[in-house]
C-alpha cells in the first residue's frame, strides 16, 4: 500500500468516526457531550491536515509521473478501470477509490466473502486491494496488512450490531447508554418517596414559620466496561463460498454475542464482567409455598412475586423464564372460594396466549410480557423465573459499537482466516439494596426471583 493510499484510508476512518459520534448523539436525542465535542474538534483538525497531506502527495505523484514521461507536459487524466479503481500515471500504482453514497459503508466491496478473499490474497504476498484499510494493532507493523490485519467495513459491523440489539436482546431492554470512556461514574438517588430520614423532605408549615431545609441523598456508582469478543477462524474452502460465508458469520457471531450479553445481564458475577441480576444485592427472593412440590410454579408464587415489584415499575417489567417453565405457566389460574375456603365459584386465567400481540410474542402473565431465555436456570431452581424491570439495569457500552477485524496470519499453516468481533460494555442494577417500606415488612425490588422448590 502506497503512502497516498494510506492517507486516503486514514481519512476514511477519521470521517467515519466523526459520523459515528454525530449519529450516536442524534440517536440519543442530544447534543455532543463535552468529551465527544473535544474528540470531534480534534478529528476535524486532523481531517484538514490529512486532506492537505493528500493534496500535497497527489501533486508530488503527478510531478513524478510527468518526469517519468520525459517532459514537463501535463499528463492525461487518470483512467478508471471497470472495477472503479483509479490508476495514477506511475506504473503499478493504484489510488484508493472514493466510495459512492450507496457503497460507502461497504468500502466498495460486493460482499463479505469478496472482502475476506482479498485479505487472504494480500496476506500471502498477492496484490493488495486498495479498498483494504489497516486496522490498529498491538504487534507487527501497522503499515503492513498481513501483520496488523484489516478492519472490516462498517456495513457488516452494523449488521452484527443490529442483530445483537434486536428483538430477543436484553441489552435493548436495559438502560443502555453509549459512552466514549472505559469507566462510567453516575449519580444515583435511592431515597424512597416515603423515606423519613435523609434526602429531600416535605413538611407542613404554619403561617410565618421558618422552613426546614433538605437536600438530595445522592451517591455515585462506577461501572467499568469489559471486553466481550467472538474469535472465529474460517477455512479457506468456506471463504470461496462467499454468499454462505456472509450469512454464516453475521448470523452465528451475532447469535453467540447476543446470548452471552443476556447471560451476563442475568448471571454476571461482577468480577471482570457485569454484575448480573441474580448476584445483585438488591434482588428480592420470594419464598415457596408450604408443602409446595419440587419443580413447580404455582399461582400463589406469581402473585407474590408481582407484589414485590414497585407499583410504578410494573408497567415496564417482564417475566424472564426458562422454557421448561412454560408448560406450568400456560395452565395457571386463580380459583375463587367462599370465606370458609370450601366452595369454588369459578376461576380466572393468569396467562394470556400471544394471539396477535406483537409486543408479547410469548404471551402475557398478569398482563406483563413473557421473555423465554436460556440465561434463566432450570425449572425448580432460583432464577428459573424472574420478574424484572430491565430499565432499572444500568448498562453503559462503548459508543463505537462492535469492532470487527480480520487476519489470516495466526492460522496461516492451517489455511484459516480469523475474524474477530469485540464489544466493550459493563452493567449493574441502579439500586444497591432492596427498597424498604413505609407500611409493611416486605421489601420491594426491580428484580424478583422465586426460591428453589
Look at 35-44, 156-165, 167-176, 412-421 and tell me which has the smallest mean pLDDT.
Answer: 156-165
As a whole number of angstroms, the distance between CA 428 and CA 277 comes to 8
Q: Does residue 308 lie within any of the structural domains?
A: yes
Dihedral sign from CA coordinates of 302, 305, 309, 313: negative
pLDDT tens-place string over residues 391-419: 999 999 988 777 777 665 555 566 677 77
CA distances from 34 to 22, 28, 180, 251 (A): 13, 15, 11, 36
Q: Does residue 313 lie within any of the structural domains?
A: yes
As a whole number of angstroms, the distance between CA 188 and CA 95 comes to 53
When pLDDT is cut at 50, 70 and 90, the band that residue 57 belongs to is confident
Q: Does residue 328 lie within any of the structural domains?
A: yes
Calculate mean pLDDT across residues 272-286.
Answer: 96
pLDDT tens-place string over residues 14-39: 887 888 888 787 777 788 888 888 88
Q: Does residue 292 lie within any of the structural domains?
A: yes
When pLDDT is cut at 50, 70 and 90, the band that residue 387 belongs to is very high
Q: Does residue 379 lie within any of the structural domains?
A: yes
More confident residue, 82 or 66: 66
To the nearest whole number, what is the mean pLDDT of the chain? Answer: 77
As a whole number of angstroms, the distance between CA 176 and CA 116 comes to 32
pLDDT tens-place string over residues 334-382: 776 666 666 555 566 788 777 655 557 788 999 999 999 999 999 999 9
As a whole number of angstroms, the distance between CA 263 and CA 337 comes to 41
Contact 337, 345 (CB under 8 A): yes
Long-range (24+ apart) CB contacts under 8 A made by 55-59 are 57/3, 57/4, 57/7, 58/4
As a whole number of angstroms, the distance between CA 359 and CA 396 comes to 25
* Run of H or E including 39: helix 34-68
Q: Does residue 310 lie within any of the structural domains?
A: yes
Transcribe 339-389 into DSSP letters.
TTS--EEEEEESEE--TT-TT-TT-EETTEEEEE-TTSPPTTSTTSEEEE-
Q: What's the confidence (pLDDT) of residue 453?
A: 94
What percent of the chain shows pLDDT beyond 70?
A: 67
Q: Does residue 70 lie within any of the structural domains?
A: no
Q: Does residue 6 lie within any of the structural domains?
A: no
pLDDT tens-place string over residues 107-141: 556 566 566 666 666 655 556 666 665 444 433 33
**Residues 6 or more apart whose Cβ sits within 8 Å of residue 200:** 191, 214, 215, 216, 217
When pLDDT is cut at 50, 70 and 90, the band that residue 99 belongs to is very low
Alpha carbon of residue 429 to chain centroid: 17
Long-range (24+ apart) CB contacts under 8 A made by 332-336 are 332/297, 332/298, 332/299, 332/302, 332/365, 333/299, 334/299, 334/303
When pLDDT is cut at 50, 70 and 90, the band that residue 162 belongs to is low
Range of 361's domain? Answer: 281-394+434-450
Say if residue 80's pLDDT is above 50: no
- Give the number of domains in the chain: 1
Say if residue 167's pLDDT is above 60: no
Contact 325, 379 (CB under 8 A): yes
Strand partners of residue 288: none
Amino acid at each position: 500500500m502506497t503512502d497516498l493510499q494510506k492517507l486516503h484510508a486514514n481519512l476514511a476512518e477519521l470521517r467515519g468516526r466523526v459520523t459515528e459520534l454525530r449519529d450516536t448523539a442524534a440517536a440519543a436525542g442530544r447534543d455532543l457531550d463535552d468529551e465527544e465535542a473535544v474528540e470531534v474538534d480534534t478529528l476535524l483538525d486532523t481531517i484538514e491536515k490529512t486532506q492537505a497531506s493528500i493534496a500535497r502527495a497527489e501533486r508530488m505523484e503527478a510531478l513524478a509521473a510527468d518526469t517519468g514521461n520525459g517532459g514537463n507536459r501535463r499528463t492525461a487524466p487518470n483512467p478508471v478501470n471497470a472495477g472503479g479503481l483509479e490508476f495514477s500515471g506511475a506504473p503499478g500504482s493504484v489510488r484508493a477509490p472514493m466510495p459512492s453514497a450507496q457503497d460507502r459503508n461497504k468500502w466498495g466491496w460486493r460482499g463479505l466473502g469478496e472482502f475476506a478473499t482479498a485479505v487472504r490474497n494480500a496476506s500471502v504476498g498477492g496484490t493488495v486491494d486498495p479498498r483494504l484499510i489497516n486496522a490498529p494493532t498491538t504487534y507487527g507493523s501497522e503499515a503492513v496488512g498481513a501483520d496488523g490485519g484489516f478492519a472490516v467495513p462498517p456495513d457488516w459491523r452494523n449488521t452484527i450490531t443490529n442483530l445483537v440489539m434486536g428483538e430477543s436482546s436484553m441489552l435493548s431492554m436495559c438502560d443502555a447508554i453509549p459512552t466514549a470512556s472505559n469507566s462510567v461514574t453516575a449519580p444515583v438517588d435511592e431515597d424512597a418517596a416515603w423515606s423519613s430520614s435523609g434526602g429531600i423532605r416535605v413538611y407542613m408549615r404554619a403561617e410565618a414559620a421558618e422552613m426546614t431545609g433538605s437536600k438530595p441523598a445522592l451517591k455515585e456508582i462506577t461501572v467499568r466496561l469489559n471486553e466481550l469478543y467472538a474469535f472465529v477462524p474460517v477455512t479457506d474452502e468456506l471463504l470461496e463460498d462467499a454468499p454462505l460465508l456472509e450469512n454464516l458469520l453475521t448470523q452465528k457471531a451475532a447469535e453467540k454475542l447476543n446470548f452471552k450479553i443476556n447471560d451476563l445481564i442475568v448471571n454476571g458475577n461482577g468480577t471482570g464482567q457485569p454484575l448480573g441480576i441474580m448476584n445483585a444485592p438488591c434482588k428480592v427472593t420470594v419464598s415457596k409455598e408450604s408443602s409446595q412440590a419440587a419443580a413447580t410454579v404455582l399461582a400463589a408464587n406469581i402473585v407474590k412475586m408481582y407484589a414485590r415489584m414497585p407499583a410504578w415499575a410494573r408497567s415496564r417489567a417482564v417475566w424472564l423464564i426458562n422454557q421448561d417453565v412454560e408448560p406450568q405457566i400456560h395452565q395457571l389460574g386463580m380459583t375463587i372460594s367462599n370465606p370458609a375456603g370450601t366452595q369454588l365459584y369459578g376461576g380466572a386465567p393468569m396467562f394470556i396466549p400471544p394471539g396477535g400481540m406483537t409486543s408479547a410474542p410469548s404471551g402475557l402473565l398478569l398482563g406483563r410480557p413473557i421473555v423465554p431465555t436460556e440465561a434463566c436456570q432450570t425449572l425448580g431452581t432460583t432464577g428459573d423465573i424472574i420478574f424484572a424491570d430491565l430499565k432499572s439495569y444500568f448498562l453503559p457500552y462503548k459508543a463505537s459499537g462492535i469492532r470487527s477485524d480480520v487476519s489470516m496470519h495466526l492460522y496461516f499453516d492451517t489455511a484459516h482466516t480469523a475474524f474477530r468481533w469485540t464489544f466493550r460494555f459493563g452493567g449493574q442494577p441502579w439500586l444497591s439494596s432492596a427498597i424498604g417500606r413505609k407500611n409493611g415488612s416486605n421489601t420491594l425490588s426491580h428484580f424478583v426471583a422465586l426460591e428453589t422448590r
